């Protein structure tokens, strides 16, 4: 199968620091892949490269077979890449409903002119947007807080709202940056189930950064490990868990099988 | 009592114009976090656009008619929307990732450039010009109160524009995206919002409102000159800060407040000479007691 996402020798340097170093990566259209590594390994930076926040210093990124160089962040979203943020970045006092609406409307062409004329086309499109927002909110059990400002939500809801907002752009590739960070074990296992569910329901590829190994091992078919910007392992969970380089760099002895 | 009501009406009419201009300052601040000091000059250009469009429009529409006045207003708004977008593209966009101070100084430069270019005799000339009557001049007497047709038009136009603005910001795709950008530009971009087009849209919208303010101001005071945007622009800026910079209802409220207080102060003997200083006194008071403005917006979290 042709890869949905392909990274060829992707490298980025910040001054003297090489945050991501010659990384090769391929991701199939419906793969759920975990991305792990110690703090500062370059996981978030890799997301920033894929989503066009930074251009790579060297190397190339292809999405759906086409190079992404020269595309701005918002154009990549329209091509089908969406993400969440490690440190939550919601639209402060915007309501839950409007937050998701902003993302749903990314693909809409109706602009101000239609809005002012209030044509039938505009009203129909508007109703369709509303329907999609309601459906997404219901799926994530956020419909009960739809009119509340995003900042006022409990932490777990804010994390889930970030995922809904990303999904609302109808991506083919979803990048989740530590979506379970700061959640309690119950919330974590709910979220794990939800990630698996949405991956199946929306038939998308997911790249998941997560420090909690139970979450990663539980749902990922494949795990990629970064250390100091270098990819040190890439394979099925069992193989990665047994890989001595991974154990040394990240997992530690206790995580090794039958240690 | 009649005296009080009369002053209130006059003050609100002036305040409505400040409000229209203040909205542009506050919208641009909300998106780009800098003060577009050239905004007062766009207000002036709106008035001059009206001056030049009036004879053209009067060839088609009856002179001093409401329909003709409306066409002049819309044309001036459209021209200034274009100018606002152009100013942003030429002057501010190349400095997008530079320190805010650089952009702020550039804004002052743009403002001076417009003011001095327009004062040149081949442009508008420095002397004040008489602004034509756009609508039928009438006054109504209610008891002892006097209300002019211009004042009615100022109120109606401002109210309509505020309602339309609210609709745009709350309900349309561009408006929602605008709010998203004002909360977190990068997150908005990564949700598919085209930042450049939102910024252009914001400048266009704000400039159109300033042009409307310019026309209404010119209709009210009948005289316009290339420096008319300096003081009025500054007071509208103060109104935006008083209301809470970045906050749209705040800008409208601040404008009305400053217009009313200034008018009342002008009516008090002994204080009338200090009329133009009133806005700044209010500013200082607000900055001391409520630094984030009357309708303060919660501070946007920086990441
Ligand atoms: N814009 C930047 N400028 C300079 N250095 C940066 C920048 N972004 C990231 N870095 C550096 O790149 C390295 C990788 O950072 P990154 O945030 O990608 O790590 P991470 O794997 O996501 O870590 P964590 O698990 O803590 O989130 C770090 O040393 C970081 O300081
Ligand atoms: Mg990170």
Map chain A to HEC letters: CCCCEEEEEEEEEECCEEEEEEEEEEECCCCEEEEECCCCCCHHHHHHHHCCCCCCCEEEEEECCEECCCCCHHHHHHHCEEECCCCCCCCCCCEHHHHHHHHHHHHCCCCHHHHHHCCHHHHHHHHHHHHHHHHHHHHCCCHHHCCCEHHHCCHHHHHHHHHHHHHCCCCCEEEEECCCCCCCHHHHHHHHHHHHHHHHHHCCEEEEECCCHHHHHHHCCEEEEEECCEEEEEECHHHHHHCHHHHHHHHCHHHCCCC
- The 3-state DSSP class for residue B37 equals coil
Mean pLDDT by 10 residues, chain A (259 residues): 92 95 95 94 97 95 94 94 94 93 78 56 79 91 93 91 94 95 89 90 94 89 95 94 88 55
B3's tokens: 């005296």
Query: Closest Cα to residue A210, out of A218, A201, A202?
Result: A218
| Four-residue CA torsion sign, A231, A232, A233, A238 | negative
Count the Cβ atoms, other than its own, within 10 Å of residue A78. 16
Please tell me what DSSP assigns to residue B225. -
In a domain, residue B302? The reply is: no
State residue A117's pLDDT score: 56
> Does ligand 1 lie within 6 Å of residue A37's CB atom?
yes
Q: Look up the pTM and report it.
A: 0.88
Q: How many CB atoms lie within 10 A of CB A108?
A: 14
Q: Which residues of chain B have pLDDT under 70?
A: 297-303
Cα torsion angle, A224, A226, A232, A237, sign = negative
Cβ of A74 within 8 Å of Cβ of B171? The answer is: no
Whether residue A53 contacts residue B186, with contact meaning beta carbons closer than 8 Å, is answered with yes
Distance from B135 to chain A by nearest Cα, in Å? 26
List Cβ neighbours of B281 (8 Å cut-off, separation of 6 or more): none
What pLDDT was estimated at residue B267? 83
Residue B298 lies in a domain: no
Question: How far from each other are the two terminal CA atoms of chain B, in whole angstroms?
Answer: 53
Contact B183 A93 (CB under 8 A): yes
> What pLDDT is recorded for position A115?
55
pLDDT for the residue numbered A125: 77
The pLDDT value given to residue A249: 85
The bound ligand whose nearest atom lies closest to the alpha carbon of A53 is: 1
Number of domains chain B contains: 1
Q: How far apart are CA B88 and CA A130, in angstroms?
A: 33
Instruction: Give a yes or no: residue B192 inside a domain.
Output: yes
| Pick from A74, A111, A151: CB nearest B193 | A74
pLDDT for A119: 59
Q: How many CA atoms lie within 13 A of A108 on its CB side?
A: 27
Residue B275 belongs to some domain of the structure: no
Give the pLDDT score at A57.
96
A113, A117, A121, A122 alpha-carbon torsion, rounded to 10°: 70
How do beta strands A5-14 and A58-63 pair?
antiparallel
Compute the CA torsion angle B125, B127, B133, B137 (nearest 10 deg): 170
Q: Which domain holds residue B64?
A: 15-228
Q: Is A74 at the interface with chain B, CB within 8 A?
A: yes
Return the residue whose CA atom lies nearest to atom 10 of ligand 1. Answer: A19
């Amino acid at each position: 199968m042709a890869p949905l996402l392909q990274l060829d020798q992707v490298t980025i340097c910040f001054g003297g620091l090489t945050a991501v170093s010659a990384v090769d990566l391929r991701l199939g259209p419906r793969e759920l892949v975990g991305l792990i590594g110690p703090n500062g390994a370059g996981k978030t930076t890799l997301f920033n490269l894929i989503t066009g926040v930074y251009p790579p210093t060297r190397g190339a990124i292809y999405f759906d077979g086409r190079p992404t160089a020269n595309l701005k962040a918002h154009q990549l979203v329209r091509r089908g890449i969406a993400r969440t943020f490690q440190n939550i970045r919601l639209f402060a006092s915007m309501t839950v409903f409007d937050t998701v609406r902003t993302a749903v409307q990314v693909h809409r062409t109706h602009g101000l002119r239609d809005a002012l004329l209030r044509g039938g086309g505009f009203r129909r499109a508007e109703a369709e947007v509303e329907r999609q927002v309601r459906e997404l909110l219901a799926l994530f059990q956020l419909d009960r807080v739809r009119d509340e400002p995003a900042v006022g939500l409990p932490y777990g809801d804010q994390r889930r709202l970030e995922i809904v907002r990303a999904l609302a752009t109808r991506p083919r590739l979803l990048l989740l940056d530590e979506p379970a960070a700061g959640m309690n074990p119950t919330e974590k296992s709910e979220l794990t189930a939800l990630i698996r569910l949405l991956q199946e329901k929306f038939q998308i590829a997911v790249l998941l950064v997560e420090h909690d190994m139970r979450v990663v091992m539980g749902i990922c078919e494949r795990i990629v490990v970064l250390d100091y910007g270098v990819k040190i392992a890439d394979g099925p969970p069992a193989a990665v868990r047994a890989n001595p380089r991974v154990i040394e760099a990240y997992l530690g002895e206790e995580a090794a099988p039958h240690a | 009592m009649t005296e009080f009501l009369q002053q209130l009406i006059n003050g609100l009419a002036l305040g409505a114009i400040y409000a229209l201009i203040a909205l542009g300052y506050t919208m641009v601040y909300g998106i780009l976090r800098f003060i577009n000091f050239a905004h007062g000059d766009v207000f002036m250009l709106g008035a001059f656009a009206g001056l030049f469009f009036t004879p053209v429009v009067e060839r088609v529409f009856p002179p001093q008619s409401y329909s003709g006045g409306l066409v002049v207003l819309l044309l001036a708004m459209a021209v200034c929307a274009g100018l606002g977008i152009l100013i942003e593209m030429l002057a501010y966009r190349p400095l997008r990732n530079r320190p805010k101070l650089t952009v702020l100084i550039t804004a002052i430069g743009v403002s001076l450039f417009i003011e001095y270019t327009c004062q040149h005799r081949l442009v508008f000339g420095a002397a004040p010009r008489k602004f034509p009557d756009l609508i039928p001049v009438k006054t109504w007497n209610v008891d002892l109160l006097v209300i002019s047709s211009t004042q009615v038009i100022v109120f109606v136009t401002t109210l309509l524009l505020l309602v339309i603005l609210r609709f745009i910001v709350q309900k349309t795709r561009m408006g929602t995206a605008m709010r998203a950008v004002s909360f977190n530009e990068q997150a908005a971009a990564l949700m598919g919002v085209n930042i450049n087009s939102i910024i252009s849209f914001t400048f266009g919208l704000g400039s159109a409102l300033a042009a409307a303010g310019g026309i209404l101001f010119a209709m009210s005071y009948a005289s316009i000159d290339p420096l008319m945007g300096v003081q009025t622009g500054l007071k509208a800026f103060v109104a935006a800060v008083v209301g809470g910079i970045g906050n749209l209802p705040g800008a409208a409220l601040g404008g009305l407040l400053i217009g009313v207080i200034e008018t009342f102060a002008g009516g008090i003997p002994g204080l009338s000479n200090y009329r133009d200083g009133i806005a700044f006194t209010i500013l200082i008071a607000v900055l001391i007691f409520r630094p984030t403005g009357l309708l303060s917006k919660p501070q946007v979290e920086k990441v």
